[in-house]
Amino acid sequence: MRGPRIALHSWIFALLGDAPTVAVHLMGHGARMNQIVRCSRAHDLTRLLSTLVESRTSSQGQLDDSLRTTSNYALPRITRLLLERGADQFRIHRGFAPIHIALDRRHPWRWFTEVRYPLCSNYTEEDPGAVYMYMDSVFDSMITETVTELLKAGANCELRTKTTIFHECTHSCWKSRECDHRGQRALHLACAGGFQDAVSLLLQYRADPSSSNLDGYTPLYYALVQGYQNSARRLLAAVTPNNPIVYVPHNTTALHVACRYAFSSMAKVLLEAGADPNLGDINGRTPLHEALSLTSPGTRFREWQVIKTLNLLKRHGANPDIESYPKSPAVIGRWHPLRKVHDMFRP
């Protein structure tokens, strides 16, 4: 099988393949721990291997450090082994517990393709995209399995991150990695990463889908702002209101946010479930105001999504003449820079 390859040392390949017994066995047959690897994270893997080899003499600090490494790389078997040896899944490091570390990674690590490529038995050279789709699903499964091991060992899914990040959301937050806030719980991170199976898992462990972080955002907000419809649907099925509040300080609803980012497919789901298209937030802004505030979509497709969202609101009874501050949607629409939007609100 041909494909991308890098020169991985055997013990590193074994670790990243989540095969701790193989990695330790290789060390007993001449593999050298001080081999140099061109990767900024190689020192983490070296320390992890040292902890596995020196199982009887590893300190608590070594175990905890290694648990952070396996959580970061989403290695469920090694995670379980470390937990059995006494690694502390509650220890906070730089604001994150291991469960946060596992869910905070939104993209596969650097060597993921090289390690998992040989396992892609359904690969054909004519359809390389199928390999990457398969590997994405494998990565998601590894995340969920790692979180499962942490939860089985007693990890608290309601534990908050302890960071001092200050971030004010704007329209540029659509699918942005920079959209992050203080006091995140595991469910917030799972929704932001699009790990839908992890979302379901956390809900099974009674994570609160309505809980807000320290800045007032609920998990559903992150599923919406990142464009993850499956995760959003799973959360909606777990809450009672058909249009829940997702930003508590402003009484911003799920429909407000779906319209703000022209997430038309979710706007349709919410409207068909009975969401009120004329409900204003604490400032009197309605979903129409939110959709009309997207004045620079950036691409033709995003522009089409704005039009589609506005048409959905219109069909479900959104009132463009509703009295609100500072202007009604009708007035805003007539001055909108997009010609098609302007034409929709022409008197």
The helix/strand/coil state of 263 is coil
Lowest-confidence range among 51-55, 111-115, 256-260, 294-298?
111-115
CA–CA gap between residue 72 and residue 75 (Å, rounded): 8
pLDDT of residue 17: 86
What is the per-residue pLDDT across 294-339, written as a single tens digit (0 to 9) for each? 988 888 899 999 999 999 999 999 999 998 878 999 999 999 999 9
- CB burial string 29-47: b at 16+ within 10 A, e below: eebeeeeebeeeeeebbbe
pLDDT of residue 146: 98
pLDDT of residue 161: 97
pLDDT of residue 33: 52
CB contact at 8 A, 312 and 344: no
pLDDT of residue 122: 53
Tokens encoding 78: 């090694």
Who has greater pLDDT, 120 or 314?
Answer: 314
What is the per-residue pLDDT across 167-205, written as a single tens digit (0 to 9) for each? 889 889 999 988 999 999 999 999 999 999 999 999 999
Cα–Cα distances in Å, from 87 out to 65, 67, 185, 244? Answer: 9, 7, 21, 38
CB contact at 8 A, 158 and 213: no
Tokens encoding 1: 């099988």
CB contact at 8 A, 71 and 98: yes
Is 3 a residue whose pLDDT tops 70? no
Tokens encoding 124: 């054909």
Among residues 320, 331, 335, the alpha carbon closest in space to that of 286 is found at 320
Tokens encoding 195: 């790990």
Looking at the chain, the whole-number percentage of residues with pLDDT higher than 70 is: 88
Lowest-confidence range among 127-131, 277-281, 315-319?
127-131
Residue type, position 7, single letter? A
Domain boundaries along the sequence of the chain = 1-156
CA–CA gap between residue 53 and residue 86 (Å, rounded): 15
What is residue 208's DSSP assignment?
A: -
CATH class of residue range 1-156: mainly alpha
Is 127 a residue whose pLDDT tops 70? no
Who has greater pLDDT, 34 or 220?
Answer: 220
3-state secondary structure 212-242: CCCCCECHHHHHHHCCCHHHHHHHHCCCCCC
Lowest-confidence range among 11-20, 71-80, 102-111, 267-276?
102-111
pLDDT of residue 126: 56
Residue type, position 136, single letter? D
Tell me the mean pLDDT in the region 161-172: 88
Cα–Cα distances in Å, from 8 out to 48, 63, 112? Answer: 16, 24, 12
Residue type, position 169, single letter? C
Provide CB contacts within 8 A for 86, sequence distance 6+: 60, 63
Is 21 a residue whose pLDDT tops 60? yes
What is the per-residue pLDDT across 43-86, written as a single tens digit (0 to 9) for each? 888 889 889 988 777 899 999 999 999 999 999 999 999 999 99
CB atoms within 10 A of CB 339: 9
CB contact at 8 A, 70 and 147: no
Is 105 a residue whose pLDDT tops 80? no
Provide CB contacts within 8 A for 325, sequence distance 6+: 283, 284
Residue type, position 318, single letter? A
- Reported confidence tier of residue 136, pLDDT bands at 50, 70, 90: confident
